[in-house]
Amino acid sequence: MMYIFWTVGNDIDAQRKGVATVFLFDPSFPQIPHHKGAGVISPQDNWLISVRLSAIHICTPDTPFFRLRRRFLTMAIGSHNRARLKLHLGTAVELMYKLQAYGIPIDSIPLTCTGKIKLTNMRQWLRLRHMIEDQEKRATTATIRNYNSSSSDSDFNSNSSITIITPNDNNILVEAPYLNDVLFKQGNSYTGQPGNNILRSLIESKVKQHYENTTKKYKPNRMNQVERKALILHILDEFEHTYHGRFVNWHRSNTMSDYWWVILHNSNESRDDQKVIFSKVEPLFRKINTKIHQQYEQLSHKVFGQSIHKTNSTPNQKSSNIIQYKNSNNNSSLMIIDADPPRPITITTTTVTTTTATTIKQNGGTFLFHSLDGNGKQNNNNKTQGGLLSLHHSDDNRAMPSSSLSSSFDTTSSECFGMKFLPCYGD
């Protein structure tokens, strides 16, 4: 336990934020034999913890024996750590769900649903520690010999040497990536990794900003290779300095015995790492760029089509039509104003008679005009067809008045929904 906390304490982020610990108890776990009895906890020197504990989760079954052990553990951790203590009761599956509610990745817990301990993660971690310690042992030692051909008064002779120990920074192993790290692994997109989602959102926002600044007359300009490379490098630089993220690749070098996460440096000093990052990010950038470019093209076609439709279409101006009817006997004429242009009014004349139409005023009637010519039922069908004013007569030929036309329209008026309509006469 002391070695585990020592390795955890080497991480700077763990020193800053602390460590969340999980203690799991189950009757199926093998018990360490003790002279005082199985399962008895006694203080030992290897309980020394070199890192601050930010959370303590104790998970036990709901039995009287483990309730007693929980009380002993609560007393053992001290009063200064009880505010960080959380006790959980239930089966193995229930305990996993309770830990997941606190943001703990239950997939990394080496425990099956039946309560059996998985040793695969422990063996993998031990292999990782061997690789890290071997890498530290293989730290290259560069010996620079300073051959001085100066005067004999120099304090250094020609055999003096300076030894510089520099670690191999090309393959820096990462035991556990951070949440804001971008993970590159063949066959996995890591959509659940927050760092990958941040990079994807950053690329999308930068591409949209580029099209908004370069689009002219609703025509998006496709980026060339130089602009695309410059924008990708700008995105990578902003991700490192603004979001403090790292680029981690699943890699195995010649000096490594197994595959593991290796940090990639996005700098001019490490050209190889920069090429690897660019080759991993460019397909994602190309996919997002193509999608946004298609969206802008569809928007430009839609706006351009609307502008053409507005240019070709003429406004439907509603104007009044004046229909003029001339009397055959004299020079007087009757003008009828039509307020609805799409429906023209046609007047057919056959035989001129001396029938005079008498119009009475209606206030809120069910039809527009009511003419009394001896048959009131026929006039119910004399509704407006194509305008606000129409002329009909009771005789079969529906003829217009001849001699008395002018005199009858001088004194009569019609009213529709409270508004008066007067016939207009002209030469």
Euclidean distance between CA atoms 12 and 172, whole angstroms: 15
Paired tokens of 310? 């507005």
Query: For residue 409, which of 345, 334, 350 has the smallest C-alpha distance?
Result: 334
CA dist., res. 314 & res. 301, Å (int) = 22
CA 370 distance to own-chain centroid: 67
Q: Measured in whole angstroms, how far is the alpha carbon of residue 193 from the centre of its chain? A: 16
Q: What is the pLDDT along the chain (427 residues), one digit of tens a residue?
A: 788 888 888 888 888 888 999 988 887 776 665 555 545 555 555 556 778 889 999 999 989 988 888 888 888 888 888 899 999 999 888 999 999 999 888 888 888 777 778 888 888 889 989 888 888 887 654 333 444 444 444 454 444 433 344 444 467 888 888 889 999 988 777 777 889 999 999 999 999 988 888 776 566 677 888 888 999 999 999 999 999 899 999 988 887 788 889 999 887 777 888 889 999 999 999 999 899 888 888 877 776 566 665 665 555 544 444 444 444 444 544 444 444 445 544 444 444 444 444 444 445 444 444 444 444 444 444 444 444 444 444 444 444 444 444 444 444 556 666 666 666 655 5
Q: Is 80 helix (H, G, I), strand (E, B) or coil?
A: helix
- DSSP code for 117: B
Locate 30 and state its tokens.
């093998």
Residue 31 is which amino acid?
Answer: Q
Q: Are 59 and 99 in contact (CB under 8 A)?
A: yes
**What integer pLDDT is reported at residue 425 of this predicted model?**
56
Q: Find all residues with CB under 8 Å of 376, minimum gap 6, and list them.
A: 370
**Lookup: tokens for 125:** 């971690």
Q: Which residue has the tokens 């290259």?
A: 140
Contact predicate 202/239, CB 8 Å? yes
Q: What is the gyration radius of the CA atoms in the chain, in angstroms?
A: 47
E strands in 271-354 = 321-326, 333-338
Nearest of 386, 370, 332, 324 to residue 349 by alpha carbon: 324
- Per domain, the residue ranges of the chain are 2-118, 182-312, 314-427
Q: What pLDDT is stored for residue 368 in this prediction?
A: 47
Q: Dump the DSSP string for 137-197.
A: HT-EEEEEE----S-TT-S--TT-EEEEEE--TTS-B-SS--TTPEEEBTTB--TT-HHHH
The type of residue at 216 is K
Single out the residue of 225, 215, 209 nearest to residue 296, CA to CA: 215
CA distances 421 to 38, 285, 323, 409, Å, are 112, 72, 15, 11
Which residues touch 208 (CB under 8 Å, ≥6 apart)?
292
Is 117 in contact with 110 (CB distance < 8 Å)? yes
